């Protein structure tokens, strides 16, 4: 199994008035290619902070984060943002779609930011629209879509550039349970068929159980980190 993400002795603090609050105290974890990991824990325990650090969206105080064995804090800014754009897909609770762009234009945004020609990604676009079940909505703007559909656009956008890993922060947090399960089924498909590694933060045990492993954070440390045992009948 190839390791894709490693965090070594991560420490992260935030200023709260005059106080410095240590949100992540000493985090060590390793994620292998192909895993589907769920991160759980009480509100405010540092889940989003950890996810953003792993994706290079925030800077850490101490420790190391390695993506494919490369320390992201030793990367120059340009190399780091390129790594973020090409190897990592992000999915957020509130979709973060561009409201005046159509579904397909939203999906193509990461490619355009990379300077790629969308026309050469026609096949990928068809394929991902098919997978997320939005082929018939491709010309529609986000405000005409349900929350679940908007999240599916965000997932398609995170997948279009074929990242190695998707980091998803409460991707079903804003959805009813039926739409939430559809999103989880979609992640499962992407994980299996496209072999993309997934790390999701969730408050839902049901959503967490779609993964192969659950990491629980508490008071800035990893309280438990367990493989889920599947009973095959
Ligand atoms: N940019 C920031 N500046 C100051 N404090 C911050 C910042 N980001 C997060 N924090 C603090 O760090 C702690 C952890 O925040 P974080 O967003 O990681 O929690 P979380 O586990 O994702 O919570 P939730 O489940 O509510 O999303 C919180 O106490 C929060 O107030
Ligand atoms: Mg959070």
Domain of 105, CATH number, reads 3.40.50.300
Pocket test of ligand 1: the residue of 42, 46, 215 to mutate, having most ligand atoms within 8 Å of its CB, is: 46
Q: 75 lies in a domain?
A: yes
Q: What is the pLDDT of residues 156-208, one digit of tens each?
A: 999 999 999 999 999 999 999 999 999 999 999 999 999 999 999 999 999 99
Which of the four pLDDT bands, split at 50, 70 and 90, describes residue 209? very high
Q: Is residue 233 part of a domain?
A: no
CB under 8 Å to 22, separation ≥6 — which residues?
11, 12, 13, 220
DSSP state of 229: P
Instruction: Please report which ligand is nearest the Cα atom of 54.
Output: 1
Does pLDDT of 50 surpass 90? yes
Verdict on whether the full-model pTM lies above 0.85:
yes
The domain total for the chain is 1
CA of 145 relative to ligand 2 center, distance in Å: 24
Query: Per the domain annotation, does 42 fall within a domain?
Result: yes
- Residue 232 covered by a domain: no
Q: Give Cβ neighbours of residue 76 (< 8 Å, ≥ 6 apart).
A: none
Domain contains 15: yes
Q: Atom 25 in ligand 1: which residue has the minimum CA distance?
A: 43
pLDDT at 45 exceeding the cut of 70 = yes
Domain that holds residue 136: 3-227
Cα 210 → chain centroid: 14
Any idea which ligand is nearest the CA of 46? 1
Backbone angles phi, psi at 21, to 5 degrees: -105, 120
For every residue of 39-71, DSSP letters joined together read: EE--TTSSHHHHHHHHTTSS--SEEEEEETTEE
CA torsion through residues 76, 33, 10, 86, sign = positive
38, part of any domain: yes
Over residues 89-122, the pLDDT tens digits come to 999 999 999 999 999 999 999 999 889 999 999 9
Cα-to-centroid distance, 57 and ligand 2 (Å): 14
């Amino acid at each position: 199994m190839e390791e894709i993400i490693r965090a070594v002795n991560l420490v992260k603090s935030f200023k709260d008035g005059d106080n410095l609050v240590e949100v992540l105290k000493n985090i060590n974890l390793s994620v292998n290619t192909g895993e589907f990991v769920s991160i759980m824990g009480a509100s405010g325990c540092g889940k989003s902070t950890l996810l953003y650090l792993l994706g290079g969206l925030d800077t850490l105080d101490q420790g190391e984060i390695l993506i494919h064995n490369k320390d992201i804090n030793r990367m120059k800014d340009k190399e780091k943002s390129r790594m973020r754009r090409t190897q990592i897909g992000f999915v957020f609770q509130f979709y973060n779609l561009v409201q005046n762009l159509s579904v397909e234009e939203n999906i193509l945004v990461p490619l355009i930011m990379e300077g790629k020609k969308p026309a050469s990604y026609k096949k990928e676009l068809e394929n991902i629209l098919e997978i997320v079940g939005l082929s018939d909505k491709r010309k529609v703007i986000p405000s005409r879509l349900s929350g679940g559909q908007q999240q599916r656009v965000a997932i398609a956008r995170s997948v279009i550039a074929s990242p190695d890993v998707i980091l998803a922060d409460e991707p079903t947090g804003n959805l009813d349970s039926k739409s939430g399960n559809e999103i989880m089924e979609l992640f499962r498909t992407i994980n299996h068929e496209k072999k993309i590694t997934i790390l999701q933060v969730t408050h839902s045990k049901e959503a967490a159980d779609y993964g192969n492993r659950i990491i629980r954070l508490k008071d800035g440390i990893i309280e438990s980190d367990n493989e889920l045992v599947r009973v095959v009948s």
